[in-house]
Amino acid sequence: MPMIMNHHYDNGLDLQGSGQNIHLSDILIRRRINREEYMVDIKEIDQAIAAHGYWKTYLRNAITTGRIDTPVETICSDSRCVFGKWLDASMLTSTEKESYHYITVKGLHARFHETAARVAGLVLAGKKSEAERMMAPDGEYAKISAQLSLAMMGWRKSLSEKK
């Protein structure tokens, strides 16, 4: 699996060494054979786990340098990243949007972005030690990131068991 280098909100994910972006249209939903139902694909979950794992490195680098390239308002929005756009996609069935996994991941995803934005805000305010506390293994960012990852892995597992 290639390493994610940049998390572009409008252009997809830039993958190291591939020279290409993964666009939302490439990872949204795959149709079932009858073309009337849509199905969540494991690929979307895997890419979301990788993309959100990238934020840990991005925020740690921001703490070290005291700079962050993405506006806090953008980071805070859970609907501007590729996975957030996919979660909001109208192509997901109402059954999928009512599922335990979808509801859990959607809520944790929003909290993840709010927490990441708070870390970014602390960085920009020059509050390095507070940002580092949020990123520590027992910090708020680390906890919500782990919860989101576990929820996405649980969703992924449930999908693989259905195949």
- Side-chain half-sphere exposure of 144, counting CA atoms within 13 A: 21
DSSP character at residue 163: -
**What pLDDT, on a 0 to 100 scale, did the predictor assign at position 39?**
55
What is the rounded CA–CA span in Å between residue 162 and residue 104?
A: 19
- For residue 13, the cross-strand partners are 7, 22
User: Is the pTM for the entire model greater than 0.85?
Assistant: no
Measuring CA to CA, how many Å separate 43 from each of 24, 26, 86, 137?
A: 12, 10, 12, 28
**What pLDDT, on a 0 to 100 scale, did the predictor assign at position 163?**
59
User: What does the domain layout of the chain look like in residue ranges?
Assistant: 4-162
**What pLDDT, on a 0 to 100 scale, did the predictor assign at position 3?**
38
**What pLDDT, on a 0 to 100 scale, did the predictor assign at position 26?**
38
Residues of the chain with pLDDT under 70: 1-40, 90, 163
**What pLDDT, on a 0 to 100 scale, did the predictor assign at position 106?**
95
- For residue 8, the cross-strand partners are 12
